[in-house]
Every structure is written in C-alpha cells, then in structure tokens.
Amino acid sequence: CGIFGVVGVADAASFVALGLHALQHRGQEAGGIVTHDPEQGFNSARRFGYVRDNFTSKSVMETLPGPLAIGHVRYSTAGSKGQTAIRDVQPFFGEFAMGGAAIAHNGNITNANALRRELIERGSIFQSSSDSECIIHLMARSLQRTIPERMEDALRRVEGAFSVVAMTRTKLIGVRDPMGVRPLVLGQIGDGWVLSSETCALDIIGAEFIREIKPGEMVVITDKGVESHFPFRPRPSKFCIFEHVYFSRPDSILGGRSVYETREGIGRELAKESPVEADLVCPVPDSGTPAAIGFSLESGIPYAMGIIRNQYMGRTFIEPTEQIRNMGVRLKLNVNRALIRGKRVVLVDDSVVRGTTSRKIKEMILDAGAREVHFRIASPPTAWPCFYGVDTPEREKLLAATMSEDEMTRHLAVDSLKFISLDGLYRAVGEASGRDAGCPQYCDACFSGEYPVTPADMVEKGFQV
Ligand code: 5GP
Ligand code: SF4
Ligand code: MG
C-alpha cells in the first residue's frame, strides 16, 4: 500500500490526492483521504479504483477541507483474500476522549488475528476485516493521556511490518516499525510538512526530501515543528529488499540510493553471474526495464523493446482473481514481432512468482519467431510467501517452492533460466561484501525463508517456518 500525509498547507487534501496518485503503483484497488478543518472538523472519502478517477472532481474535493490530511492507496495482502469491501478501505478513524484520530497503514500485522480475538472478547466493535483496525482499538483501550502516547502503546503490542501515517486535530504523525520493513520519508513544502511512502510523491507536489523516518521512530509534527521519539525496543533493521527490486518506483530514493540505479546494478550483476550469447536484451515491461538496461550495458548485447506494454492497464498481479490475472498478460503485453524474428532473445524480468507471466511471454516470443529465449530474473527464486505487506500467493502456488531451477527451466520450456544470487542482489543494493548470513542486512524472507518476525497468525494456521 501507499501512505501520504501533509500538514500546514491550504487545501491539504489536493496535495494528498496528488501524492497518492504518485504512489498508485503501491495499490490500485482503492483509496481514501481524511482531512481536518478547524471549523468543519474531520471529513473523509473512501472509494474503489484509481485516485485520478475519484479524487479529482470538485464535488468530492470540496467535502475535504482543511490544512491537515492523510491518505492511503490500497492493495489487499495476505489474510484479506477476495474482493475488498469499502469498509476495509483506509484511513480508519476513531473518536477518543481527547478527540479524533485517523490512521493509514502500510504493511502487515502478523499477530492481528490474536489481537482481534482478544479485543473482541473485551468489547471492541470491529468495523472492518482489516488487520490495521486493531491499532485503533488498542489505542481506545490505552490509558495514556495523549493520542501519540496511545499510539505508542498500541504499536508496542503489534508485531510485523508497519509504516503508519496518522493525524489528530492538530498533529501529523509518522511511525515505522522497529525493523523498518516498509518505507516512509519526511518532506517539507513551504511551512508545511509531508510524510510519504516514497520520495517520488514528494516530487509531484514540489516538496523537498528531508530524510527517511528511521526504523522504530515516531515523528509528531505540529506547527511548531517535528518531534522525534523512539518508543520501541531496538531491533536490527530489516528493510524489505524487494522494494529495491520491484515495489518502489524507479524514480524514488531508498536508503540514499536511486532505485533506478540499484536495478540497473542488479542487471549488471546478472550479466556477470549468468552470461549468455544472444542478439537482443528485452525487458518484460515495465518492472524489468532498468535491470534489462544494466544487463545490456554489462554484456554489450543490444537493448530493444521487444515487448510493448499497453499503458492503460494496471499491474496484472494486483488484480484479485486468478481468471483476470491469467487474461491480464495478453491484455497488457504484446510482442514487437518485426524485431524478434530470427533472434536469440534475453528476457529480463523482476521476479517469477507463479510463473504464469513468464510462460505466456515465452509463448508470445516464440510465436513471433524468436530462435532462442533466455530468461534472466532480477531477484532470487521466490520460494516463500511474504507476510509483511507484499501480496504473494500461498507457498504451493509459488513455482520456486516446488521446483529447482532446472525443473523451472523445463517447466517454462525456455533455453535457459537464471536468477540473480542472493549475494549478488545484496551487492547491487550496496552491500559490497554481500549478505551477512548471521544477521542479514535486509528482510529477504520471500527468497531465503528466514522470517525476521515469526508470522504468528500464519503459524497458528499451520504454516511452517
Ligand atoms: P507470475 O510469475 O506470478 O506470473 O508474475 C510475476 C510478475 O508479477 C512479476 O514479474 C512482477 O512484475 C509482478 N508482480 C506484481 N506484483 C507483485 C508482487 O507483489 N510480488 C511479486 N513477486 N511480483 C509481483
Ligand atoms: Fe519484502 Fe520479501 Fe520481506 Fe516481504 S518477505 S518484506 S517482499 S523481502
Ligand atoms: Mg513484471
């Protein structure tokens, strides 16, 4: 998901709408905005679909006045299977003795089922099926006197991955979990302040990038400035390495590094680790593009747009049903036939999950008359599901969970298939000596199976870590 908040500007909601539009790649199912205005109090709008279709009309934006606003773009992750209900669309809002508060959450709470059971037993009335709603109820039960303190209380009970943007009548609040799994950055615009999942959403409104919120940090922003706290027991940081590979936008800065350059570096590493003789390097658009450029630069094999993407489709993977997902590849991608005929083609993609995309693309490329097809993948085999906020299917549906690299090569019927090594990936994100096996510098659970936080809810359901 994507989260965004702004305080201290006139008409904050229109800034949030623009910010969410720049974060749309992080969630396309639904979006919501909550605002506060000294005269009109809290207001909210939550809608299915794209930001541009919902938060541009005068009739909606007029209902969202005030200098303080937060917003959320949603895509459903593990635990919330099936169609999203409007009641699951964030931000969530709660009214406490000391006033109202709204929160928007990116990540996945891994002990949400246990918390929900406990809270319901003690009288909480849940409005949604979302794990994030636990935070509001934990805040309601806290005995602390201020909303930021209640939030600290609540978040100390929560396990897993969370970046949170929240607001009261007067404050904008940002928090990252102690491992800092999901991103969150701080920006400044005139006298106002901005919190955003990614820096690309600061650019769109002309805000200046100040810094990342640190793992375990809570910032409370008022018209007096930014106050910083560290309310959690410190833990080794475990930023999601897959943000670098796929999830973040290539024009964002993560950990002081350009995502685009990192991806180009991944492509270079791939070319060094798994070279191949070929005539063309083609990206699987758009997610494979920077890595394909890196592969081409390193190998000297010419880069070409052998596959053309229809710009008006969303990200296939995010469509909730299998049927739509299966059609998705053809609706979205088409082979540039004239270019491909008679050629030995290297296809570069970011990841192989179910393998359906790769399989269809290979067929399309062979249909177009390619002589050889070689896949090079910018991440290691995805053999484990993510429980920290990225939507991966159950383990059985992951190609790499049941097949070796050789078996996958045969299954996809390609001339070769190579994944970047975990160490190669760490080098590409700037860890010169690779992965520290004793204490990995990132979360890489979907590749290694080493979960930095036990996914308690899943273990309860029988998942074996
Ligand atoms: P599949 O192998 O399941 O057919 O699809 C893999 C493709 O889905 C990847 O190339 C990637 O571009 C795209 N994708 C979209 N969302 C996600 C996600 O949340 N996780 C992963 N691993 N891939 C995703
Ligand atoms: Fe990121 Fe994978 Fe860890 Fe999920 S399991 S947080 S996708 S690295
Ligand atoms: Mg892709």
The amino acid at residue 147 is: I
Q: Give the ligand at the shortest distance from the Cα of 177.
A: 2
Q: Tell which residue, 86, 158, 151, 161, has the closest CA to residue 119.
A: 158
Catalytic residues: 1
What would the CATH number be for the domain defined by 2-237?
3.60.20.10
The amino acid at residue 88 is: D
Pocket test for ligand 2, best of 241, 398, 442, 453 (most atoms within 8 A of CB): 241
Q: Are 262 and 294 in contact (CB under 8 A)?
A: no
Q: Give the ligand at the shortest distance from the Cα of 353.
A: 1
| CA 400 to ligand 1 center in whole angstroms | 13
Torsion over CA of 215, 217, 218 and 221, rounded to 10 degrees? Answer: -100
Ligand 2: nearest atom to the Cα of 382: 2
Low-confidence ranges of the chain (pLDDT < 70): 77-83, 313-328
Is residue 280 within a helix (H) or strand (E), and if so which, with residue range? strand 280-283
> Residue 68 has what pLDDT?
98
Per residue in 251-297, pLDDT tens?
A: 999 999 999 999 999 999 999 999 999 999 999 998 999 999 999 99
> Residue 300 has what pLDDT?
98
Between CA 248 and CA 242 the distance in angstroms is 8
Which residue CA neighbors atom 4 of ligand 2 most closely? 386
> Residue 163 has what pLDDT?
98
> Residue 79 has what pLDDT?
47
Strand blocks (E) in 41-191: 41-48, 68-74, 92-96, 99-109, 160-167, 172-176, 185-189
Q: Which two tokens stand for residue 289?
A: 């593009």
Q: Tell which residue, 169, 167, 112, 119, has the closest CA to residue 142.
A: 119
Domain chopping of the chain, boundaries? 2-237, 260-460
Topology of domain 260-460, CATH: Rossmann fold (3.40.50)
